[in-house]
Amino acid sequence: MIKIGIIGAGSMGAGIAQVASTAGHEVFVFDSNPVALERAQANLLAILNKLAGKGKIDDRTAKAIFGRVFYFSDLAAFGETGLVIEAIIEDLAVKKAVFKQLEGIVSADCMLATNTSSLSVAAIAAACDRPERVLGIHFFNPAPLMQLVEVVPAIQTSSDVAKQAKLLIESWGKLVVLAKDTPGFIVNRVARPFYGEALRILEEGIADVATIDWAMTELGGFRMGPFTLMDFIGNDVNYTVTETVFQSFFYDPRYKPSFTQKRLSEAGWLGKKTGRGYYDYSEGAEKPVAKQDADMGEVIFARILVMLINEAADGLYLRIASRDDIDLAMTKGVNYPKGLLQWADEIGIANCVHMLDALQAEYLEDRYRCSPLLRKMAKAHQTFYGK
């Protein structure tokens, strides 16, 4: 079994180390901050003890998983690894410097992966003499619990490396989807309207946060409403992802961030973690009550859903990922109740086109432009999953 190297012992690095060790690999973890290494080791012990306490794993297994992870404050040991996954700060210059240094240490056939959420994998690979061994392996947080992993070959990545990496991560019990090296990959791109369109509906005064959340959970079947979810993720984190995606898409209005969320983030109303976001989480705070108007709820739900479907269809149109991988990414990565392309079939593609065209006619904004794929399929009476 190959040895796995992890660079960065923060939330993601520590989680990925746990996954790889649980799968039976010896794992070498490096971080430039010794405190992060100590914290990662202490956290792993606590997590494994908890799992053993609940009877999810036996004591021997817990000890073995813990004993297979080794912590280093230099990279020298990484010469023995077969795959290194980088999970350090989201900064292109810093990541490039680490990959360049790493290439001088690892063996010729070691695969080098980045866990970046928003940077170009091609740009990171370009720092290496052998960019064909570099790819994106994007885990979700928390890595041990989230089943989905996006594997992202750069234009330089050899097909063999992408194939090997996919098989390896699948052997860790993960569900792997393949995504093109474009901003947000699949999940962080396709999910944007869930937040963006909900914020737009709020800003227009159509409904308040509680009502929009109610429409999406009660009528739409989503596990969390968009405002509850943004408060859970953190308005700072969620806003930054949106802004990065917007900039990376050369300011395509479809991804335009919201001032409402920017102000919340600037005010420090980050959500659950600060006790206040769209909702007030302080003790005794009154929960706002949704106006349970079914007609209004249906309008809200249909508008957000059709924008999500449009994004998923455009991802397929631009070959970001396959039909199945787009639907799997959203159901397994962010727990959507249904795949968006399957949902489009159920609503009827012609109906989706009609709804999008009505929004564009009302607002005259490029944000609502219908994907050419939906229009083409509606004309030809096609469905995503065949008849």
Ligand X SMILES: NC(=O)c1ccc[n+]([C@@H]2O[C@H](COP(=O)([O-])OP(=O)(O)OC[C@H]3O[C@@H](n4cnc5c(N)ncnc54)[C@H](O)[C@@H]3O)[C@@H](O)[C@H]2O)c1
Smallest gap from residue 78 Cβ to ligand X (A): 12
Q: What does the alpha-carbon distance between residue 299 and residue 290 come to, in Å, rounded to a whole number?
A: 15
**x/- map, 101-130, ligand X, by CB under 6 A:** --------------xxx-------------
Active-site annotation holds for 381: no
Q: What does the alpha-carbon distance between residue 339 and residue 332 come to, in Å, rounded to a whole number?
A: 9
Q: Is 238 in the site for ligand X (CB under 6 A)?
A: no
The DSSP bridge pattern shows strands 148-153 and 134-139 to be antiparallel
Active-site annotation holds for 188: yes
Q: Is 5 in the site for ligand X (CB under 6 A)?
A: no
Smallest gap from residue 275 Cβ to ligand X (A): 21
234 token code pair: 């953190």
Q: Is 208 in the site for ligand X (CB under 6 A)?
A: no
Give the active site residue among 138, 238, 258, 371. 138
> Which amino acid type is present at position 63?
K
Active-site annotation holds for 117: yes
Give the active site residue among 86, 150, 197, 311. 150
Q: Which is nearer to ligand X, 164 or 238 (CB)?
A: 238
The count of residues interacting with ligand X (CB under 6 A) is: 23
User: Looking at 51-59, 87-95, 222-230, 270-278, which segment touches ligand X (CB under 6 A)?
Assistant: 87-95
Q: Which is nearer to ligand X, 65 or 98 (CB)?
A: 98
Which residue minimizes CB distance to ligand X?
10
Q: Is 94 in the site for ligand X (CB under 6 A)?
A: yes
Q: Which is nearer to ligand X, 117 or 157 (CB)?
A: 117
Sheet architecture: strand order including 27-30: 69-72, 27-30, 3-7, 81-86, 111-114, 134-139, 148-153, 175-178
Q: Identify residues 24-43 at the interface with ligand X (CB under 6 A).
A: 31-33, 36
List the alpha helices (DSSP H) in 78-206: 92-103, 121-125, 159-171, 187-190, 192-203
Give the active site residue among 21, 115, 118, 188. 188
Q: Which is nearer to ligand X, 157 or 244 (CB)?
A: 244
Give the active site residue among 117, 120, 235, 310. 117
> Beta strands of the chain (E only): which ranges?
3-7, 27-30, 69-72, 81-86, 111-114, 134-139, 148-153, 175-178
Q: Is 134 in the site for ligand X (CB under 6 A)?
A: no
Q: What does the alpha-carbon distance between residue 88 and residue 362 come to, in Å, rounded to a whole number?
A: 44
User: Looking at 85-93, 172-180, 283-291, 338-346, which segment touches ligand X (CB under 6 A)?
Assistant: 85-93
Q: Is 141 in the site for ligand X (CB under 6 A)?
A: yes
Contacts 24+ apart (CB under 8 A), 264-268: 264/235, 264/239, 265/235, 265/236, 265/239
Q: Which is nearer to ligand X, 116 or 261 (CB)?
A: 116
Q: Is 147 in the site for ligand X (CB under 6 A)?
A: no
13 token code pair: 């690095």
DSSP 3-state of 222 = coil
Q: Which is nearer to ligand X, 11 or 351 (CB)?
A: 11
Q: Which is nearer to ligand X, 73 or 107 (CB)?
A: 73
Quick one: which of 17, 65, 69, 88 contacts ligand X (CB under 6 A)? 88
Active-site annotation holds for 150: yes
Evaluate the CA torsion angle 91, 92, 97, 102 in order and state its sign.
positive
261 token code pair: 């969320």
Q: Is 236 in the site for ligand X (CB under 6 A)?
A: no
What count of residues does the chain have? 387
Report whether 72 contacts 44 (CB < 8 A).
no
Quick one: which of 47, 48, 87, 359 contacts ligand X (CB under 6 A)? 87
Three-state SS string over 110-147 comes to CEEEECCCCCCHHHHHCCCCCHHHEEEEEECCCCCCCC
CA neighbor of 195 nearest in space, from 128, 148, 245, 144 = 245
Q: Which residues are catalytic?
A: 117, 138, 150, 188
Provide the binding-site residues for ligand X, judged by CB under 6 A. Answer: 7-13, 31-33, 36, 87-90, 94, 98, 115-117, 139-141
